[in-house]
Amino acid sequence: MNYGYDDPSLLDKLAANWQYIGAATVGLLWASSCLHGLNRNEAKVITSMFGKPKGVLSSEGLNVTAPWPLTRVFQTVSTAKQPVKDELYCKTSNNVTLNVPITTEYRIVDPEKFAYASLDPIGTMKDKVSRAVKSKINDLEYSAVQAEIGQITTAVKESLDAELLKEYGIELIDIIVDEPVPDSKIEEALNRREAAKLSEDAGKREGNAEALRIIELSKGVIEGAEKLNESAVKAGFVSAAQVIEMAQKHIAITDANQGRGNVVIDVGHSSNASFAAGMATQMRKEAAASTPKPS
């Protein structure tokens, strides 16, 4: 089958008209520079041949402009909602180093301003958000940071909204700060401190309970001493009033130290009665020792 490519007359015609064919091809390519296809959530910033802004193409589908070099596409910009992540290291007011993950959600609402405002508007936005969050955390103690994350992000967003929109054409949608994580060494020290605090609290609770028990024991000593009144007086060594006075002193000292976990009374005796008897015996010995011996 012969398609005519072997026909010398056709080859001669193509060779003779190559200039026209080339010109037509260039013309088609030049005309195609007028056509610009756009996807959803996409915009093209158009400039003149001298770089002067000429407008923005934002309609989804096929858009028509003057051909190159009268106009050209300076930048294609996504207008969809986008996230940018950052990781911030900062210190709290009580000198705890934190690792703070930040996600900033934004949308470009003015592509022309975005294209011409800065060489790196996204990087500029990220730096501004990080510095503002860091400043807020620097003013708080570690224990308050987690509780106030919501207030921090709201305050930062409100402080940057107008500036980012005016200067860079960026709408700040949200700032998300994940749970701040202390440096591993700091976290270990905090855990040790918390454990020590819990141990101290437990010790105070045990000390308070012991103090209360001692008070009850001492009150029992008074009752026991009153019961010993008759035998003590008959023995002639010590009066019950002295035993009661001594027990009351024990109670006063214990009351004064309650809440500090201080044990000031010997509670080695198994019962109130034996404790009172021991006290009476000791006082009788002291009384006998102080009595002058007959010459």
Q: How confident is the model at residue 94 (pLDDT cuts 50, 70, 90)?
A: confident
Any idea what DSSP says for residue 4? Answer: S
Per-residue pLDDT tens digits for 196-255: 665 566 556 665 666 666 666 666 655 655 555 555 555 554 555 555 565 555 555 555
Using DSSP, state whether 71 is helix, strand or coil.
strand
Q: How confident is the model at residue 264 (pLDDT cuts 50, 70, 90)?
A: very low
CB pairs under 8 A, 24+ apart, for 183-187? 183/96, 183/97, 183/98, 183/99, 186/96, 186/97
Flag the least confident range among 39-43, 101-105, 254-258. 254-258
Token duo for residue 192: 């040790």
pLDDT of 37 over the 60 cut: yes
Residue carrying the six token digits 């015996």? 281
Per-residue pLDDT tens digits for 142-179: 888 888 989 999 999 999 999 999 999 999 999 999 88
Are 123 and 162 in contact by the 8 Å Cβ rule? The answer is no
pLDDT of 109 over the 90 cut: yes
Helical ranges in the chain per DSSP H: 8-16, 18-32, 111-117, 121-138, 142-145, 149-168, 184-227, 229-235, 240-257, 272-290
Sign of CA dihedral 132, 134, 137, 139: negative
Phi and psi at 178, nearest 5°, equal -70, 175
Using DSSP, state whether 80 is helix, strand or coil.
coil
Average the pLDDT over 37-60 and give the result. 88
CA 133, CA 120: separation in Å to the nearest integer? 20
Are 61 and 38 in contact by the 8 Å Cβ rule? The answer is yes
Q: Which residues contact 36 (CB under 8 A, 6 or more apart)?
A: 44, 57, 62, 63, 64, 65, 73
CA atoms within 13 A on the CB side of 230: 1
**pTM, to two decimals:** 0.55
Query: What are the CA-CA distances from residue 197 to residues 72, 76, 141, 191, 204 (Å)?
Result: 69, 59, 18, 10, 11
CA atoms within 13 A on the CB side of 278: 12
> Beta partners for 57?
44
Amino acid at 265: I
CA dihedral 119, 79, 164, 49 (to 10 degrees): 40
Are 114 and 108 in contact by the 8 Å Cβ rule? The answer is yes
Using DSSP, state whether 237 is helix, strand or coil.
coil
